Structure 1
């Protein structure tokens, strides 16, 4: 009966070249070598499979996100010149090892906490994102904003978190929107928990601001913050963390009575703890840390330099107030208030500026929003202002016959004043090492800067890629040199990160995992090997069975090529990673 070769008749017996030899010692030797060769090939394949599995298992397991990672930290009110080795030795040492903006970072007007934290997060002027002070009034809706509950009014905090207050796309949402695998957390960051107009609206995880100042609790917070990055199931790649000191201590004590030094010591211990924990959990060289503050602080000279607004105008009716501005209800009352305050300020006793909003300087970008009051008050360096004080009471408490020495500092002044400059230091895999930059960036430039690090498309903002803050990024040639472990021979290439256009091509992080050198060695190369062996196995049982000469030729050259290729590949990667056997 004729057998159809295309029907499944079971595997045909493999052609053995030794069968053609006459029986005798020569045929026996041939059969022995043939069997040993087949066994050797099988054992070789088993050896490579075992090697591959063992090397993959030997790779350090990591729950880290494949996306670039940022930890953004704000120490409220930390003035730029407080990074001193005698005050904060650990922060100072860390600063000298990374990129340190020695003269600080410039805040937006007005130099208060709530508006500047949103400017940092969104890259927008205060007139653009709509949070124009810590507490203020909206004449269009007849509502008041007071996120920090400074007015102590019931339910004012919840009302201040309504979406309608906010016109911004903070960095945590920009990050999440770029890819489903990206996650962002906000830990006490002012307004980090609110719902914003643009999807995905809220951070992946957010904890609302809480009023406490305890080192032990800060350290617990640190542990929670780092767990976001190391979570093996849902790792985060962006976390914003806010600490409300030394601002609170400075308001109550100023710079000179010793309380500030004790608080700075606690903050330094916190930062030391952060660095140790990052190293312990393997984040030291994986996370880009940016340490900044919302504004600086200025010492108030004495109680005579406090401008008590209620001493000069009738506080009972006729206007609404923010923490540094007035919303008169009619023109007549507006003129009366302005004249009374101007007269008091011009008496020479107080260093305070009284300005109509329409006359406020363009450079501050603080006119084009109805939430900004018609009359603006600004204390100059060395002075302060308040709606809630009386000069007589201050004199009795702190004056010549007072029993308490006046110690206080404040903020809210011209952001160009050095006293108003906050800190800006960064350290991590994306940044230059051990450089100090004298130029002063604006805090609105940090949003676009962080987008560059995270490799996400920024939303419209008021920052600029021409900012000196981009000098902190490793240049393209340095990145290449670092990637290949070479320090002397680098490609002379223009630093695209400092240009406003022609951004470097962004590689998807999952693709990068496959194409980087170590992944190629342990993942892609073995996979290619297994596929090749599979194809050759199929070829051996089909095409090569037709012709023994072709079969022997392919086997010989394939094995020779395989040995050389694997050896070359393995040794090349050992050389790249400077591994010595």
Structure 2
């Protein structure tokens, strides 16, 4: 899936283009884990189904750039965002997969980067480690699979960040531990198998994840033939999935998204400790956490950065980060906050063990501000009985996918940042009038 904290960090390369790579190397093909949740209630058995597919790193313009006939068919038959869907900042895998399934900005669902430090816990979340990625206490918000289970509807997760954790005392009825080696064909087969279970056992919400395009983008860059091949392969997988779903003759809505895009990195290697004394900071990637015993450290470092400005990045006190980034209120974000102004390799220190020998593997990356770098924008396609045909949506934030899916499932959402009204134009009349769930908005003052 992803790179660590923020953008193209040197440490990212060490993970061989997947946030779960360490786990993958240590495990064999993983079986489905079945949780003894209650069966679907009678009311929920009558509801429609939603299959949510993530194509990690699938930039918004890849379908046109490289050709993706099955995705383009979805656009003709359903809804799409031709100019892309905006990921939340930072445009990394873990933060954005959680934003898609919670309707919250990263600073509200708590996964503010792939790896970060929590001052209140005096602990570090590392997306590659089951000790943290499988610990539900790190996550705020209510993922869609938990929302469904809470309301008497079964759910299943074939990979998704956070899906291996017990959250709010619940898990999806069916899930797998992440295994990037699991054959792509078997993934679609598993989705179809779940949808053939008896009605009381059958999940109505299912997630499915593919990492191929992200891996190729990091390893070879978004302009490469390797990315072209990965796009064609996953488009074929979407075609096969659609064929399998159609054969079931169930009311299934298919939603295909990506967490972020991809951009070619510039050769610059920026080391933040060259600009400010970070001796009294705990650092995770670009995140800077001042020593709690040094009350002036954040102020001093900020002033040093401002005294040595560099056009390649901007520096802010956390409370002053531009509002559009929604990245100004969670201590996990660090202080001061560094925001790259281009696709640069940035890290806190030069002494990341062995990083210099690995930089050559990283040709493309993400994590940057999607408002200033359109290459960060992701795909969005949706088709099914609840979707109008040939609807082209303007660019929207990915937090709005959550109430959109909850509406199709007829689920009531908790307070969230996303709004159902943003994607409501894509919903069919019957869906909008009969099956819409209630969407509660967060208090605007809670930012």
TM-score between both structures, scaled by the size of structure 1? 0.62
Per the alignment, residue 167 of structure 2 pairs with 196
Counterpart selection for 2:260 from 270, 295, 315? 295
Mapping of residues 236-251 of structure 1, within 5 Å? 236-251=203-218
Identify, as 1 or 2, the structure richer in helix: 1
* Partner residue of 1:434 out of 390, 407, 432: 390
| Residue pairs, 1:53-68, within 5 angstroms | 65-68=45-48
Contact 2:79–2:382 (Cα < 8 Å) also in 1: yes
> Equivalent residue for 1:257?
224
Q: Which residue matches 2:368?
A: 413
Structure 1: 5+ residue stretches without partners: 1-63, 150-155, 399-403, 480-494, 504-581
Q: 1:308 to 1:157 in 2, by over 3 A?
A: farther
Alignment pair present for 1:308 and 2:308: no
Whether 2:84 is the aligned partner of 1:80: answer: no
| Residue aligning to 1:92 | 72
Please list every run of 5 or more consecutive structure 2 residues that lacks an aligned counterpart in the other structure.
1-43, 441-447
**Counterpart in the other structure of 1:383:** 344
Deviations 1:432-452 (A, max 9, x none): 112323x12221111111111
Contact 1:465 1:500 in 2 (8 A): no
Structure 2 residue aligned with 1:271, among 222, 238, 263?
A: 238
1:234-257 deviation per Cα after TM superposition (whole angstroms, max 9, x unaligned): 211110112223222212221223
Query: How far 1:186 moved relative to its partner?
Result: 1.0
Q: Is 1:312–1:344's contact at 8 Å kept on the other side of the alignment?
A: yes
Question: Could you list the per-position Cα deviations for residues 195-240 of structure 1 after superposition, in whole angstroms to 9, with x for gaps in the alignment?
Answer: 112x5x211112122344x7xx011111011211111362111101
* 1:389-419: CA deviation from partner (whole Å, max 9, x where unpaired): 689x999999xxxxx7x97222222232322
2:409–2:435 CA contact under 8 A, matched in 1: no
Paired with 2:234 and 2:439, the residues of 1 have a C-alpha distance of 41
Q: Find the aligned partners of 2:255 and 2:346 in 1 and give their Cα distance.
A: 32
Equivalents in 1 of 2:184, 2:96: separation in Å? Answer: 22
Is 1:220 matched with 2:173? Answer: no
Give the match for residue 451 of structure 1.
Answer: 406
Shift of 1:144: 0.4
Alignment check: 8 A CA contact 1:74 1:291 kept = yes
Q: Work out whether residues 299 and 408 of structure 1, in 8 Å CA contact, stay in contact via their aligned partners in 2.
A: yes
| Corresponding residue number in structure 1 for 2:320 | 359
Summarize the Cα distance change of 1:161–1:314 in structure 2 as closer, same or farther, 3 Å threshold: farther
2:419 and 2:365 mapped to 1: Cα distance? Answer: 29
Q: Is the CA contact (8 Å cut-off) linking 1:307 and 1:352 kept in structure 2? A: no
The 1-side partners of 2:151 and 2:358 are apart by 56
* 1:461 paired to 2:416: yes
Alignment partners' CA distance in 2, 1:245 and 1:271:
13
Q: Name the CA shift for 1:321/1:70 in 2 (closer, same or farther; >3 Å).
A: same
Following TM superposition, by how much is the alpha carbon of 1:470 offset from its aligned partner in structure 2, in angstroms? 1.2
CA RMSD between the two structures? 3.1
Distance in 2, Cα, partners of 1:497 & 1:65: 16
8 Å CA contact 1:189, 1:208 repeated in 2: no
In structure 2, the CA distance between the partners of 1:116 and 1:312, relative to structure 1 (3 Å rule), is same
Q: Is the 8 A contact 2:88 2:398 kept in 1?
A: yes
Counterparts of 2:391 and 2:319, CA distance in 1: 42
* Contact kept? 2:412, 2:437, Cα under 8 Å: no
Report the 3-state secondary structure (helix = DSSP H, G, I; strand = E; otherwise coil) of the residue aligned with 1:72. strand
User: Which of 129, 134, 151 is the matching residue for 1:161?
Assistant: 134
1:313 Cα deviation after fit: 5.6
Aligned length: 392
- From the CA coordinates, give the structure whose radius of gyration is larger: 1
Q: Which of the residues 466, 470, 473 maps onto 2:424?
A: 470
Per-residue CA deviation, residues 316-359 of structure 1 (Å, 9 max, x unaligned), is x522123331102124443454355455552x5xx212222121
Residues of 2 paired with 1:436 and 1:499: CA distance?
A: 21
Secondary structure in 2 matching 1:429: coil
Larger strand share, 1 or 2: 2
Cα displacement string for residues 96-129 of structure 1 (whole angstroms, at most 9, x for unaligned residues): 2211111121222222111111111111122211
Matched, 1:119 2:99: yes
Identify the residue that residue 329 of structure 2 maps to in structure 1: 368
Query: 2:126 maps to what in 1?
Result: 146
The answer (yes or no) to whether the contact 1:431–1:474 under 8 Å persists in 2 is: yes
Distance (whole Å) between structure 1 residues aligned to residue 246 and residue 391 of structure 2: 22
Q: Output the TM-score relative to the length of structure 2.
A: 0.79
Instruction: Say if 1:238 and 1:203 are closer, same or farther in 2 by CA, change over 3 A.
Output: same
